[in-house]
Amino acid sequence: MTAETAYHGEMGRQFALQATGSAYNAHTDRPAMLRLAGDVSGLRVLDLGCGAGHYAAELLSLRAGQVVGVEGSETLLQAAQERLADRAVLHHHDLEEPLAFLKDQSFDLALMALVYHHINARAQLLAEVRRVLRPGGTLLVSTTHPTSDWTYFGGSYFADERVELPFGDGFALSYWRMTLEKFLGELLGAGFVLEELAEPRATQQARLVDPRRYDKTHRQPHFLAVKLRRP
27 vs 118 by CB, closer to ligand SAM: 118
Q: Are residues 72 and 83 in contact, defined by beta-carbon separation less than 8 angstroms? A: no
51 vs 137 by CB, closer to ligand SAM: 51
Binding residues among 102-131 for ligand SAM as defined by CB under 6 A: 113-115, 118-119
Nearest to 89 by CA among 76, 70, 61: 70
Residue 4: CB atoms within 10 A of its CB come to 12
Among 3-11, 164-172, 188-196, 202-210, the segment contacting ligand SAM (CB under 6 A): 3-11
**Given candidates 13, 19, 36, 176, which one binds ligand SAM under the rule CB under 6 A?**
19
Q: Is residue 73 packed enough to be buried (19+ CB in 10 Å), middle (13-18) or exposed (0-12)?
A: buried
Q: Give the shortest CB-135-to-ligand SAM separation in angstroms.
A: 25
Residue 42: CB atoms within 10 A of its CB come to 10
Nearest to 47 by CA among 132, 121, 174: 132
Q: Residue 10 phi/psi, 5° resolution?
A: -60, -35
142 vs 184 by CB, closer to ligand SAM: 142
Size of the site for ligand SAM (CB under 6 A): 24
Q: Give the shortest CB-5-to-ligand SAM separation in angstroms.
A: 4
The DSSP symbol for 96 reads T
95 near ligand SAM (CB under 6 A): yes
Mask of contacts with ligand SAM, 30-69, x by CB under 6 A? -------------------xxx--xx--------------
Q: Are residues 75 and 6 in contact, defined by beta-carbon separation less than 8 angstroms? A: no
Nearest to 225 by CA among 127, 144, 117: 144
94 near ligand SAM (CB under 6 A): yes
**Given candidates 71, 108, 149, 210, which one binds ligand SAM under the rule CB under 6 A?**
71
72 near ligand SAM (CB under 6 A): yes
Binding residues among 196-215 for ligand SAM as defined by CB under 6 A: none
Q: Are residues 85 and 63 in contact, defined by beta-carbon separation less than 8 angstroms? A: no
Give the interface with ligand SAM as residue ranges (CB under 6 A).
3, 5-7, 15, 19, 25, 49-51, 54-55, 71-73, 76, 94-96, 113-115, 118-119
